[in-house]
Chain A
Amino acid sequence: MNSTLLEIKNLQVTINEIEILKRFNLSVKKGEIHAIMGPNGSGKSTFSKVLAGHPSYRIKEGEIFFKGCNILNLDPEERSHLGIFLAFQYPIEIPGVSNEEFLRLAYNSKQKFCNKPEVDPLEFLEIINQKLSLVNMSPKFLSRNVNEGFSGGEKKRNEILQMILLDSELSILDETDSGLDIDALKIISTGINHFMDTNKAIILITHYQRLLDYVNPTYVHVMQDGRIIKTGTSALAKELEDKGYEWLND
């Protein structure tokens, strides 16, 4: 069986006629964790949104294969059902919609897609309660509105909770570690490590080596000006922490 989960070839992407991704290539196999680092504005977040199918971006050229099929013409919800998950850099607040309702709906739409029975609210409570402890969240937060009034750490933990709940095969974590204190970082890392197995893959977008102390990446990529300019192991991340990005241009 082919172990390649994601294959991106020669991807060129524009927004408002400005080119953001330029001949971007990446291949991710099952069981791998890829860290993508790089200076601000290098196109990291664009890459994550393009992968999830955000409508604002125009694909000029290139292909994205997920589990062997070209997903460029698929809607965001179809990509989600196939197993692509994006943990947002800035999770959106949704007033008036409770977290429980939101999570249940997301869970059930995936169940439906997989031809599995949808669960009723009581069954769902049992499922979600088991997951809550993985990210150290109290059941109280289920009745609060989605991300509304959440602290930075709570929002990020909520993203990880959703990732665990939807059990996605490919998860992109866009700066999930930004703005977290050390305890929250540990909780999130534990959640990620617990979640990860040989059938899944994770792409971590991060600015800090810190996260990689807890979550061990298979590869570290450096992105600059819309493409990956260097690939290495976790040693590369340490080097970046010391030297910054400038030396790569020499």
Chain B
Amino acid sequence: MIEKYLGSVVPIGDNYFSALNSAVFTDGSFCYIPKNTVCPLDLSTYFRINDPNSGQFERTLIIADKNSRVNYLEGCTAPQYDTNQLHAAVVELVSLKNSTIKYSTVQNWYSGNKFGKGGIYNFVTKRGICINLNAKISWTQVETGSSITWKYPSCILMGDNTQGEFYSVALTNNYQQADTGTKMIHIGKKTRSRIISKGISAGKSKNSYRGLVNILTKALGSRNYSQCDSLLIGNVSNANTFPYISVQNSTSKIEHEASTSKIGEEQIFYFLQRGICVEKAIELMISGFCREIFTELPLEFAAEADKLLTLKLEGSVG
């Protein structure tokens, strides 16, 4: 089974980093959910990069057989070093008929110091395929760490009536750069995808959403809804949205919404005047901004994610 599916979703030569990973990887995780099985608990993994000047190249392969269901969570951290480390993982999800895979990530790799020194280069290839009828893959990510992130968890919607989802919060501060988003490739008929992306940039960071929605000729009656919101904190942070959309038949529908807002001095002053301190004010506004995404996370992760974002923004306003 591993032989059949490993490398089938992300081919060796897909991109530079998948090639590197395929050449050197030694470890990773594999998960198979048999037919008609609902995995009774959330599976969780934890990744850590310990050695300075090193790279980590793990692979993950998850296969959900017919009528099965699984929730998979991953958390990532790394100690602080002045030099950079590389993380080039490959994650492949295979969802068969009527099965659902929900994959959640809370990424808090070391992001470098406040002058941008050190931190992880996080160049990860994540892709899932919904092979048969009614299969579903849902990606949820909270990206707060890494000095540079390039990451586009994607869905290939091959079977008819399959579904792909992407929920993302990406927060950058200081000199961090995050370029993240998704690709939704609609191949089967009546396939549906939903993209909700929230970017928060503070300090001198750059935060970009980059996504592709591609509805192919035979994907008749397909739908996509995308929403990309950016929140700016401070005067020198940067937020971008690059949506690529291609629809090759006339019976499909797509919607795209985007907004950019800023946490302003006057909003903070309003909180302060009512006796609420700056930290609490920002925490409230950020958690309000991200609520749609956090409700997708398992409960204990959601509470943690809220705190993590507040922690990451400490001292960046006011």
Listed in ascending order, the chain A residues whose CB lies under 8 Å from chain B are: 52-56, 75-77, 80-81, 85-86, 88, 91-92, 94-98, 101-102, 105-106, 109-110, 113, 145, 162, 166
Contacts A52-B273, A101-B284 aside, 16 further interface pairs with beta carbons under 8 A come to A77-B275, A77-B277, A80-B272, A80-B273, A80-B275, A81-B275, A85-B273, A94-B267, A96-B285, A96-B287, A96-B288, A106-B275, A109-B274, A109-B275, A109-B276, A109-B277
Bound CA span A110–B272, Å: 12
Give the residues in chain B near A91, CB-CB below 8 Å: 270
Q: A97-B284, A101-B284 are in contact. Are A113 and B289 (CB under 8 A)?
A: no
Give the residues in chain A near B289, CB-CB below 8 Å: 95-96
Bound CA span A56–B272, Å: 14
Bound CA span A173–B11, Å: 66
A–B complex contacts, Cβ < 8 Å, 29 sampled = A53-B272, A53-B273, A55-B265, A55-B269, A75-B272, A76-B273, A81-B275, A85-B273, A88-B273, A91-B270, A92-B266, A92-B270, A94-B271, A94-B288, A95-B261, A95-B285, A96-B284, A96-B287, A96-B288, A96-B289, A97-B288, A98-B288, A101-B284, A102-B284, A105-B274, A105-B276, A106-B274, A109-B277, A166-B275
Q: A55-B265, A76-B269, A105-B280 are in contact. Are A94 and B274 (CB under 8 A)?
A: no
Q: A96-B285, A97-B284, A105-B280 are in contact. Are A110 and B275 (CB under 8 A)?
A: yes
B285 lies within 8 A of A162 (CB): no
- Return B297 CB to nearest CB of chain A, in Å: 17
Give the residues in chain A near B270, CB-CB below 8 Å: 88, 91-92, 94
Give the residues in chain B near A52, CB-CB below 8 Å: 269, 273
Give the residues in chain A near B266, CB-CB below 8 Å: 92
B interface residues, how many (CB within 8 angstroms): 20
Bound CA span A10–B127, Å: 68
Give the residues in chain B near A102, CB-CB below 8 Å: 274, 276, 284
B291 lies within 8 A of A96 (CB): yes
- Return A70 CB to nearest CB of chain B, in Å: 19
B265 lies within 8 A of A77 (CB): no
- Return B313 CB to nearest CB of chain A, in Å: 15
**Residue A113 contacts which of B274, B275, B285 (CB distance < 8 angstroms)?**
B275
Give the residues in chain A near B261, CB-CB below 8 Å: 95
Bound CA span A206–B4, Å: 77
Give the residues in chain B near A105, CB-CB below 8 Å: 274, 276, 280, 284
Of B267, B271, B277, B291, chain A has the most CB atoms within 10 Å of the CB of: B271
Give the residues in chain B near A76, CB-CB below 8 Å: 269, 272-273
- Return A51 CB to nearest CB of chain B, in Å: 10
Q: Which 5 A-B pairs have the closest CB atoms?
A: A96-B288, A76-B272, A80-B275, A106-B274, A92-B270
Of B265, B275, B276, B291, chain A has the most CB atoms within 10 Å of the CB of: B275
Q: A96-B288, A96-B289 are in contact. Are A77 and B276 (CB under 8 A)?
A: yes
Bound CA span A179–B274, Å: 23
- Return B48 CB to nearest CB of chain A, in Å: 33
A97 lies within 8 A of B285 (CB): yes
Give the residues in chain A near B271, CB-CB below 8 Å: 94
Residue of B at shortest CB range from A93? B267
**Residue A94 contacts which of B272, B275, B285, B291 (CB distance < 8 angstroms)?**
B285
Bound CA span A54–B271, Å: 12
